[in-house]
A and B are shown apart, each in its own frame.
Chain A
């Protein structure tokens, strides 16, 4: 079962759309590396992130997030309002989940070489002391919260901690940013700059994915638990297989990508990606500017009123669907077949409006209805 590409997809059933890129609070760019600010014209800024930019951004956004966090998140675990999901949940796919999660897990000793041990251990104890106070909250939620928040200060105000811990389940990076304790900030910053660019490389520059893949992607040592022999063998094997199978040459595979309403087309090299996720991220980056302008020009009052949801990922969520034209000239929904098969048969890509794609993707329409 290959996950539908631009659909609201289930890493879990309850999970919210893949990307949200609200201007203010959401620090997660839609390419999923947690700590870049996304704004209107956002993506280009994100793509050239450097450490200082990231840490500044995070500080700014941290404040925004705090506020929002307090506003929206108070409540028992299990009650999740849609806005929260859309804003803070990056995680409709396990892939992002993992990426966000693991940088936080370094708050555990030994995983993150960036974190000072002393800071972590001190904070860890502080946090668990705080946690003892919240009897009404289920421990299960805090299990994750505890791990997420090892860098929390010991003085975290009560609603904050509750909220933050609840967040842990959904949105890894966001959670760390929602911490307002001053004590923890230095450690946050310390870890953020070094991590974000690494992830940034992966997520934001889709084209660099393959080359930087092994180094940047493995965030937690030894997870998933696969023998190194197997890792090494499979890595070389996939490369060999591609060449061997008589696919259209080992070189680049550029295909045209069009989008409804965009004034011009783009071209992408399918060989730069190895999963639908990567392709999707790259396309979003490429076409985001078109959707924003579109928003701006047309009067779409309902969208504007959503505020931070304005940039809820349009490609993923309610409005757009990615389709491709195959060798036979048929238009198909992207995501049904294994990636390798897809590359072989894809001739063109088209980002269709959801309403046009009714025949192709009934699920998309249903899901978007459920969200709104």
Chain B
């Protein structure tokens, strides 16, 4: 052993670096940098991709200091519950200071991936101006920018490979941003502008597609009509991922026939999405490629009924990923179960987004899928009702779940048959699925379910809880038992100060904790903030109450705490108070 140690010391750094090149996961690299000082040094100079799960956990300056040669940055901003309107828009998560610092730091940024951040046109212009090698921009659930910013990117990033806009709120200035791609731009590999509302110049789009021979992924928006799609497909039969625009046309026309022909030639398409505007009569054009699809997203097409969905899906025998609306119904899910034996991920969304009506999807659909698709490892399921029996069966059929997210329309609905809480059902899931990393529970739930989660969900990293539990014991079970917990988000549960303060050190091992409408008081939050200087404990209070009037016994509406190396943030708006 002695000699082995000394052998390691004689490895030249270049060799170490070469070895580290094979480590792509940031977790592996983080682990490696903890081994010893020399490994830390080699690793930090060789890290190209940096992942920052919470943009307020670290400052851009410190990041650049540690990883001076990074080229790709992933940043996440707002907490997850911001997706559901629980966080005010201007809470924070601005990317501007990051980009400014990166510019100043002389970093050769090539790739930027942002999630739930506020992005301004100015930020995009900075990117376009100061990073000549910029290659890839991926924005997910961001807002604050307009198509003018996109125009800047299109005009200036000569080597742009990827422009991927997913579910962002973008103000459309109708300024022909797409036409800003110069004729010399031929490097695009991936272009996704589905979330944009306005029109693009179709001729420009077609020319762009024609000259980008490496284009693999193209997702257009609603404003691109079916005949334009046909012309595009004719130019780009090499596409691997297609997002349709408006999929509505009279099937008896030449345009439509041409589309069928073009579609048939696209033998590489394995991922299909779009259909924001679709007429069921046009769906048969897609049948020829169904057999090659591994990913299908029909979750924005409420007008397609179960029968038509099923007709399409029954041809998709290679499907690994399916996103649909609950219009598919239990029967439709039964067809999925018998047709899609390779299915790994399923998401069933609500078609009635206000959650008022009934859904056609119940526990039966879920059980059918679990029975028919043994490779299932990720599910998001909105449903009317659930039973323990069904969940137990699902747990038995599919022990491989990594992500299990269930949402009942009524958040406290009991077992539909026995009227008992759903504790046993979820208990079975966590007991059976030893690799479970993400869990969202729903329905009538007592402290018992948390006992199970704490005892069995040893790999759990993210847990979402709403309207569940009886007492602090529930939360304590989770905090004590789930050693790998990174993100915990809780709303409307009777968890209070005892649970919050029991193990304060735990929060430094986690990325963040969200608690809203619980029993936590202002005084307890203050205590926590005082004792743990490396946590930011933020209170979000939208009712314009003056801070002075906060009394220690008062319950806190929304609390968001996260570990950080840089202390309270300076850009917090008035209604956010960092204790």
Contacts and interface: CB of A to CB of B under 8 A. Distances in A.
Interface in B408-422: 408-414, 416-417, 419-421
A340 B555 contact: no
Given A121-B555, A340-B303, A275 B357 contact: yes
B516 A147 contact: no
A277 B359 CA distance: 11
Nearest to A121: B555
Interface stretch (B7-15, B17-25, B57-65, B78-86): B78-86
B47 interface: no
A98 B141 CA distance: 28
B492 A226 contact: no
Interface string A105-135: 1001111000001000100000000000000
A237 B195 CA distance: 13
Contact of A95 (B280, B351, B357, B411): B357
B352 A140 contact: no
B350 A224 contact: yes
Nearest to A14: B419
A244 B248 contact: yes
Contacts of A305: none
Interface stretch (B94-102, B172-180, B325-333, B502-510): B325-333
A111 B305 CA distance: 35
A240 B277 contact: yes
A140 B73 CA distance: 47
A88 B14 CA distance: 76
Interface in B262-293: 276-280
Given A229-B169, A237-B301, A143 B470 contact: yes
Interface string B296-327: 00011111011000000000000000000001
A183 B353 CA distance: 37
B83 A214 contact: no
Interface in B543-558: 554-555, 557-558
Contacts of B358: 2-3, 11, 93-95, 275, 277
Given A224-B350, A244-B279, A229 B357 contact: no
B444 interface: yes
Given A111-B492, A146-B494, A237-B276, A223 B195 contact: no
B410 A101 contact: yes
Contacts, number: 190
A340 B360 CA distance: 14
Contacts of A221: 84-86
A169 interface: yes
Contact of A234 (B306, B353, B557): B353
B385 interface: yes
Interface in A194-240: 213-214, 217-218, 220-231, 233-235, 237-238, 240
A238 B302 contact: yes
Nearest to A101: B410
Contacts of A2: 329, 358, 360
Given A223-B355, A234-B351, A1 B360 contact: yes
Contacts of B466: 223, 225
Contacts of A95: 356-358, 409
A64 B357 CA distance: 30
Nearest to A237: B276
A242 B410 contact: no
Interface in B397-433: 407-414, 416-417, 419-421
A94 B167 contact: no
B353 A340 contact: no
B277 A229 contact: no
A235 B356 CA distance: 14
A238 B419 contact: no
Interface string B343-368: 00000011111111111111010000
Interface string B86-117: 10000000000000000000000000000000
B84 A94 contact: no
B158 interface: no
B298 to A, nearest CB: 12
A312 interface: no
Contacts of A245: 279-280, 303
A225 B409 contact: no
Contact of A143 (B169, B301, B413, B421): B421
Contacts of B56: none
A355 interface: no
Interface string B363-398: 010000000000000000010110000000000000
Interface residues of A, number: 63
Contacts of B214: none
B359 to A, nearest CB: 8
Contact of B517 (A3, A10, A111): A111
A12 interface: yes
Contact of A99 (B279, B356, B385, B492): B356
B491 interface: yes
Contacts of B277: 237, 240-241, 244
B133 interface: no
Given A12-B385, A242-B303, A229 B141 contact: yes
A105 B492 contact: yes
A213 B141 contact: no
Contacts of B350: 224, 226
A169 B92 CA distance: 40
A326 interface: no
Contact of B327 (A12, A110, A230, A338): A338
Contact of A139 (B305, B385, B411, B470): B470
A15 B351 CA distance: 24
Nearest to A233: B300
A7 interface: no
Given A95-B358, A111-B492, A244-B277, A143 B446 contact: yes
Given A101-B410, A221-B86, A237-B303, A94 B385 contact: yes
A105 B233 CA distance: 51
Contacts of B554: 117
Contact of B349 (A109, A111, A226): A226
B330 A1 contact: yes
Contacts of B419: 12, 14, 78, 169
Contacts of A59: none
B517 A98 contact: no
Given A222-B85, A234-B351, A13 B416 contact: yes
B145 interface: no
Contacts of B167: 227, 229-230
B84 A225 contact: yes
A217 B84 CA distance: 16
Contact of A108 (B352, B361, B420, B517): B517
A37 interface: no
Contacts of A108: 492, 517
29 contacts: A11-B413, A12-B417, A14-B419, A94-B358, A94-B409, A94-B413, A98-B409, A140-B414, A140-B444, A140-B446, A143-B444, A143-B446, A144-B412, A147-B412, A213-B356, A217-B356, A221-B84, A222-B491, A223-B466, A224-B350, A225-B466, A230-B349, A231-B354, A233-B276, A238-B303, A241-B302, A245-B303, A275-B358, A337-B305
